[in-house]
Amino acid sequence: MNVSYAVASGSARIVLNRPEKLNALSPALLRELSDALWEADADTRVHAVAISGAGECFSAGYDLAGGGFDAGAPLDPGAVPRSGRTIDDDSWYMERLQALRMAIFDMHKPVIAQVHGHCLAGGTDVALLCDMVIAADDAVIGFPPARDLGALPNNMWLYHCGPQWAKRLTMTGDRISGADAAKIGLVMKSVPADVLEQEVDGLLRRLALIDPDLLSTNKRVINIGLELMGARTLQRMAVEMDARGHLAPAARATMRALRENGVRATVHARDERFPDGVVRVDRPELRDETGRFID
């Protein structure tokens, strides 16, 4: 099982459960996550849902070593599956994965992301679709693959923290702490790591006091407002922009490096060019010629 699922006291808790892989998002995990979310939405005992990660982090991103999307066996044995080589194939496969993640946005009941440790790349695609994000102060949030692999296939950053911070973070791939993320609205709130679970439990208990039909009404009103601001259309466009980004020379070079050198070496080579690759929200960012902070 790639996710665990439990219901108690009016709430469902879904845990990304690949701690040995830092909860890297595989197609199988995303399918199980989507199924669990819709199960919670159908269960009349459940008022709200929390998503968290097992082990040391929420999620370190997509499982780059695990292969692409498995579309499953075709109904017609004579079917010729997409090769994945064209830009339309690329968009098609990513749209299939996006549909699984969008359960968070589309389901009627509220979903809280409980973020600790690393929440990187695909981890942010899950967390930022949630209705509320509560992070540990020392959580690390960012999308480093934007440096060399493409665009963000889900992009709720704009709606959480506005265009300037969304550009600052996604154009550089720099990371931000949970505490600083709360200051700019990227997450709703940050708390010390040792009380994060109690904080989320407390909010779940309060939501459990509310009629789930009323919770649904208020979630859907606000999400329709986001849709009127283009949020759903932007998610579709984000996938297509990511497919376009995969054609960039830098992205082609990185994909070749992943095949030849593996994930660990390729990511290390990319990120060593960005020492101290974090943002400071309310302090100067003065760096030396190597990119390290001058304090």
* CATH number reported for the structural domain that contains residue 66 in this entry: 3.90.226.10
294: in domain = no
Residue 274 lies in a domain: no
Residue 275 placed within a domain? no
pLDDT at 69 over 80: no
Q: What is the pLDDT of residue 73?
A: 65
Distance CA 146, CA 230 (A): 22
* Residues 82/89, Cβ–Cβ less than 8 Å: yes
Structural domain boundaries, residue 179? 3-73+80-247
pTM for the full predicted model:
0.95
Give a yes or no: residue 277 inside a domain: no
Cα distance between residue 58 and residue 19, in whole Å: 9
The pLDDT of residue 67:
58
**Mean of the pLDDT values across residues 204-217?**
98
In the chain, how many domains are there?
1
184 vs 166: CA distance, rounded Å = 10
Length of the chain: 295
pLDDT band at 37 (very low <50, low <70, confident <90, very high): very high
- Give the tokens for residue 31: 């399918």
Domain for residue 48, yes or no?
yes
Q: How confident is the model at residue 84 (pLDDT cuts 50, 70, 90)?
A: confident
- Residue 101: name the closest of 209, 27, 180 by CA: 27
Give the dihedral of Cα atoms 108, 61, 55, 188; nearest 10 deg. Answer: -50
| Average confidence score pLDDT of the chain | 95
